[in-house]
Structure 1
């Protein structure tokens, strides 16, 4: 399905999705036309999904993110897929992951305030059929997301505690 060249191309795109087909061609030796065709096909097949990563903390915008642990009762014949598909429809939920360990699903939720997130969990998520329990963990600060360091080195150094 995917050649070695395709894997190398995908690796380069995953590191910097702003590279042009011409720049990718120089790095891979593949023709720009081939690269354009592959990228178009991968977008259609949802192999490549583009979404900008915004460091909201630097914009002054007030947003709250939370990681929600969810225990569910799997449905006969569907396992966890049916409830996961239902949950992914909520615009507040940014990510849904099936997990191993002490709970079944992890949800990443965003809202304007902690109260907004808490109300979503209490009023929309927890009452759903097949939800056994939830555990909410609020994100206090993002240092790195999707492989991107969000705190510059000068900020990290400025925050170091100096002790004798």
Structure 2
């Protein structure tokens, strides 16, 4: 993968719904080159799919989110993989990462409200045999996600400067 592919991936990651012409202009490539490179990266599994960034509040659906950190007892011969595969199957889990530090896993969990999230963690996640400890951190507001700024800013508006 060269620098143009890397740039192309960053452009698509920010907004994969852009017109092909816009992507080509931003990447400094022809439309045909963009099509070929994207197709190759899709075939090789580098690009695994495309998704929409949704403002659930504007859609009229309240969504609560939390980060759930887990301490886990890894299993002999498979380490963390089996418990990760089990946790990843829950539709409430939108992301799952093996992390370093005090905890082993970091989950992003969503639900219609805080009670739904706490019920999910206490009834589905915490009782698993390999789970030693959970720490749930409620997301109060998201400002940026997947490289995309999620708040509206007026044209030319400057952010306050602070020390």
Question: Which TM bucket (shorter chain)?
Answer: 0.7 to 0.9
The answer to which structure, 1 or 2, has the higher relative contact order (CA under 8 A, 6+ apart) is 2
Gaps of 5+ in 1: none
In 2, the alpha carbon distance for the partners of 1:7 and 1:94 equals 25
| 140-149 or 111-120, larger mean C-alpha shift | 140-149
| 46-55 or 60-69, larger mean C-alpha shift | 46-55
| Alpha-carbon distance, 1:62 to partner | 1.2
| 66-75 or 32-41, larger mean C-alpha shift | 32-41
| Alpha-carbon distance, 1:142 to partner | 1.4
Gaps of 5+ in 2: none
What is the match of residue 74 of structure 2? 74
What is the match of residue 112 of structure 2? 112
Equivalent position SS for 2:84 = helix
Runs ≥4 in structure 1, deviation > 6 angstroms? none
In 1, the alpha carbon distance for the partners of 2:112 and 2:23 equals 39
How many residues in Structure 1 have an aligned counterpart in Structure 2?
A: 155
Q: Choose between structure 1 and 2: higher helix proportion.
A: 1
Equivalent position SS for 1:153 = coil
| Alpha-carbon distance, 1:29 to partner | 4.5
What is the match of residue 89 of structure 2? 89
| Alpha-carbon distance, 1:66 to partner | 0.8
In 1, the alpha carbon distance for the partners of 2:10 and 2:149 equals 18
RMSD of the TM alignment (CA)? 2.2
| Alpha-carbon distance, 1:102 to partner | 0.8
| Alpha-carbon distance, 1:117 to partner | 0.9
Determine if the alignment matches structure 1 residue 15 to structure 2 residue 52.
Answer: no
In 1, the alpha carbon distance for the partners of 2:126 and 2:145 equals 27
What is the match of residue 102 of structure 2? 102
| Alpha-carbon distance, 1:33 to partner | 2.7
What is the match of residue 65 of structure 2? 65
Provide closer, same or farther for how the CA distance between residues 100 and 20 of structure 1 changes in structure 2, counting only shifts above 3 A.
same
